[in-house]
């Protein structure tokens, strides 16, 4: 009983809840015999508050930002620049063929020998007319001039003869091109050209196809006002011819 009276059974409890407890406790703990054995006992004036031992809190885990490995930035070259090296020097070839006296004969024979066929290919271009295009010569010539001027950036990857054929009001724009790339016209060459999408293109195989061989020889040797015969027996007049070099 002593411990509760010293700790939680305070004066208010002793007087209010058990009024005889206060009188008994004071008398009992004042007795000399009790004092001799238990010492002086001080009754609680106010209840003691329990001291609660706090459990140690687990330290908060701080999420550490995991640095993402930097992805290597790979600069993808356009398709032309990504092609394997070629031993064929296009500028030397252009000088050779332009100055050759027999472009369609010995000039092309030598071209076939020097050409890197794994790195270059011949193509036939044919412009798809729209509306009234091809009816008047001067405006059709402008189509050729505009197309070639916008293709100047391709000169280190291509060589061509391009022109206007036929007669008013039914003129055709066509060309034979030697382009970098063995099986397709690669990105970075003409595919970004604003007029290229209006051309039908066909790869030529002049080493194995007689008609293709004739077309290559005729295009590179033809003179203006001569008859171009590679597309049919009747032929078409070569009105305007331009080198792309």
Where are the chain's structural domains?
A: 2-38, 90-244
Checking if the pLDDT of 194 tops 60, the result is yes
Write out pLDDT tens, residues 24-83. 677 776 777 766 667 676 666 666 566 555 666 666 665 565 666 666 555 555 688 889
The angle at the Cα of 234, spanning 232 to 240, to the nearest 5 degrees, equals 85
Output the pLDDT for position 115. Answer: 97
* CATH number for the domain formed by residue range(s) 90-244: 3.30.70.1010
pTM of the model: 0.68
How do the residues of the chain divide into helix, strand and coil, expressed in percent and rounded to 5?
A: 35, 20, 45
What distance in Å separates the CA atoms of residue 81 and residue 186, rounded to the nearest whole number? 9
Confidence of residue 17 (pLDDT cuts 50, 70, 90): low
Reported as a single tens digit per residue, the pLDDT across 215-239 is: 999 999 999 999 999 987 689 999 9
Cα–Cα dist 74/184, whole Å: 24
| Count of Cβ atoms closer than 10 Å to residue 228 Cβ | 21
Q: How many CA atoms lie within 13 A of 177 on its CB side?
A: 30
Q: Is 172 helix (H, G, I), strand (E, B) or coil?
A: strand
Q: What's the pLDDT tens digit per position in 106-147?
A: 999 999 999 999 999 999 999 999 999 999 999 999 999 999
Q: Which of 13-27, 53-67, 203-217 is most confident? A: 203-217
């Amino acid at each position: 009983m002593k411990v509760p009276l010293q700790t939680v059974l305070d004066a208010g409890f002793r007087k209010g809840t058990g009024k005889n407890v206060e009188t008994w406790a004071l008398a009992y703990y004042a007795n000399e015999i009790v004092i001799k054995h238990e010492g002086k006992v001080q009754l609680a004036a106010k209840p003691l508050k329990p001291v609660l031992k706090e459990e140690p809190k687990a330290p908060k885990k701080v999420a550490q930002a995991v640095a993402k490995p930097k992805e290597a930035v790979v600069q993808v070259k356009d398709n032309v620049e990504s092609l394997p090296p070629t031993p064929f020097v296009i500028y030397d070839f252009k000088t050779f063929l332009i100055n050759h006296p027999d472009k369609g004969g010995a000039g092309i024979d030598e071209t076939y020998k020097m050409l890197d066929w794994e790195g270059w290919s011949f193509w036939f271009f044919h412009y798809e007319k729209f509306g009234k295009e091809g009816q008047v010569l001067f405006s059709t010539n402008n189509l050729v001039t505009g197309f070639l001027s916008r293709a100047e950036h391709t000169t280190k990857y291509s060589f061509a003869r391009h022109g206007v054929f036929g007669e008013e009001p039914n003129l055709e724009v066509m060309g034979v091109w030697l382009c970098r790339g063995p099986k397709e016209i690669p990105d970075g060459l003409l595919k970004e050209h604003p007029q290229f999408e209006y051309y039908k293109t066909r790869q030529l195989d002049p080493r194995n196809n007689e008609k293709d061989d004739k077309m290559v020889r005729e295009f590179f040797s033809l003179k203006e006002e001569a008859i171009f015969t590679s597309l049919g027996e009747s032929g078409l007049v070569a009105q305007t011819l331009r080198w792309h070099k």
